[in-house]
Amino acid sequence: MDVLMERIKHVVVLMLENRSFDSLLGRLYPGSADFNGLSGEESNPDAQGQPVGVWNQPGTDPVTMKTPDPDPGELWTDINTQIFGTANPPAGAVADMSGFVRNYLSPTEPPEHPDGREARSVMHYFSPEQVPVLSTLAQRFAVCDQWHASAPDQTWPNRFFAHTGTANGYVNNSPVHFPYKMPTIFTRFNAHGMDQAWRVYFHDMPQSLTLADLWPHLSHFRLYGEFQRDAKNGTLPSYSFIEPRYFPDAELPNDQHPPHNVTLGEQLIADVYNQLRGGPGWSETLLVITYDEHGGIYDHVPPPAATPPGPGPTVPFNFDRYGVRVPAVLVSPYIRPHTILRAPPGGPPFDHTSIIATLRKRFSLGAPLSNRDAIAPDLGAVFNLTAPDNQGPAHLEALPYATSPAELVRAREEPPNDMQCNLARLAAHLPAPGEGQGFLSSIEAHIEDLAALAGQLVEGDKHCQTRADSLHFIKGKMADLFRNS
């Protein structure tokens, strides 16, 4: 093991939602030959073949900070179109990243009512001044301009890769296929005698509960306020995974999923950093800030070929290429300012399975979970200081944003997006142990029952009318689950 990596006692991963690298960090180092960002000359053709260039809307008003609005398409066929210009690329097709605008105007699943999509919305990027927290951390520590989503797929498949090294053949969030039984990196800690070495911190509903491997370990799931206390008290575990707020409740979502306000996600990033920076474990911590997938927003770098995660082919896609680039910022006192992290030449790029590779190496967690994390570069190369000399800013302040009561009401009454609706479906499939039955045995029986349903949907869809209804249903199911655990 690298001597410097050995000094890291705490790995903290904050995974946000659906933003491409170019949209948030493309202009971090303009004109630099050492940074693969936007030149400002990139474009995509519209439906008439006219070029639509990348652009920036100055200012930090709510309309600007919610761009793109409406949400781009992010199904597997949408992403094929964005990357190749067609939903069904032939074998050997060359990715030219030419289909973002046309797909935005005509997504795979058109809305029931025309929603006034503006062609250039999907080509928008933010300046460092508009996302000062993420940009400051990227400049004061490290940015990876070669971190791809693990697959050209939706949220759940990419989050599966982050936790299990595979999507198990699934390219979209739905139709759902409970139970998802892939072994996770979390329970690998348990198998190596480190039962208390990991936690998932969440705001409203952890998407990681999609994985049945985690259902017996509910004591490891904690609300975000407990992350704040653990960081302050120096009681963080070896591995912390943080999930943002996905639903409007007392506050708006801070996951940055389009068209959610990017500033609210900046506030979360700042708080995570400030809690770690002010805690006693700071000099032994690595913070990784990344995004599960690009969410249909333009990026100019074609995804390279990838090693399929499993031994046999899967359809309709064999997971033999990566997804679009996503932002990745790495923060530690052992990282020199202005570091740009790249994978070794000729090898695979960084992707979400690099998290697994890093954890396996640092904490001696054994063999790979899949063929993908077996070849993924770990993050050891980012540590380029021999002592924790880069303590970083003592405190970061995000841009302010005041949510009005009327805005919260409107947000709660909107229909849920695809990911939010699928979280209601997840809640419907969670175990609910009954009286007189052991918790673990009831979970095993529940998994068997779900497997017998062979992917048939149980409940959930009827709670996809409004976001408030979805969240109310989720809260009830979560209360039942944790009360009986």
HEC string of 372-419 equals HHHHCCCHHHHCCCCCCCCCCCCCCCCCCCCCCHHHHHHHHHCCCCHH
Residue-level pLDDT at 372: 98
211 within domain boundaries: yes
Phi, psi of 324 (to 5 degrees): -70, 155
427 within domain boundaries: no
Taking alpha carbons only, the member of 471, 465, 468 closest to residue 426 is 471
20 within domain boundaries: yes
74 within domain boundaries: no
Residues of the chain with pLDDT under 70: 1, 112-114, 433-437, 454-460, 485
Looking at residue 207, which CATH number applies to its domain?
3.40.720.10
- 464, 415 Cβ separation under 8 angstroms: yes
Taking alpha carbons only, the member of 388, 333, 381 closest to residue 354 is 381
Say which residues have a Cβ less than 8 Å from residue 318's Cβ, sequence separation at least 6. Answer: 308
Is there a cis peptide before residue 258, judged by omega within 30 degrees of 0? no
420 within domain boundaries: no
Q: How far apart are CA 76 and CA 206, in angstroms?
A: 23
Residue-level pLDDT at 243: 98
Q: How far apart are CA 61 and CA 68, in angstroms?
A: 13
Say which residues have a Cβ less than 8 Å from residue 214's Cβ, sequence separation at least 6. Answer: 184, 186, 187, 200, 208, 220, 221
360 within domain boundaries: yes
Domain encompassing residue 187: 3-44+125-382
- 64, 121 Cβ separation under 8 angstroms: no
Distances (CA, A) of 409 to 52, 65, 154, 413, 470: 35, 19, 28, 6, 14
- 290, 147 Cβ separation under 8 angstroms: yes
- 470, 416 Cβ separation under 8 angstroms: yes
Q: How far apart are CA 170 and CA 159, in angstroms?
A: 12
Residue-level pLDDT at 1: 60
82 within domain boundaries: no
User: What single DSSP character describes residue 124?
Assistant: B
Torsion sign, CA atoms 145, 150, 152, 157? negative
- 292, 256 Cβ separation under 8 angstroms: no
Residue-level pLDDT at 5: 86
Q: How far is CA 217 from the centre of its chain?
A: 22
Residue 433 in tokens: 């142990």
Taking alpha carbons only, the member of 387, 446, 464 closest to residue 179 is 446
Burial (Cβ within 10 Å: 0-12, 13-18, ≥19) of residue 143? buried
User: Distance between the two ends of the chain, CA-based, in angstroms?
Assistant: 38
**What predicted TM-score, i.e. pTM, was given to this entire model?**
0.97
Torsion sign, CA atoms 422, 155, 22, 242? positive
Looking at the structure of the chain, the number of domains it has is 1
- 93, 321 Cβ separation under 8 angstroms: no
432 within domain boundaries: no
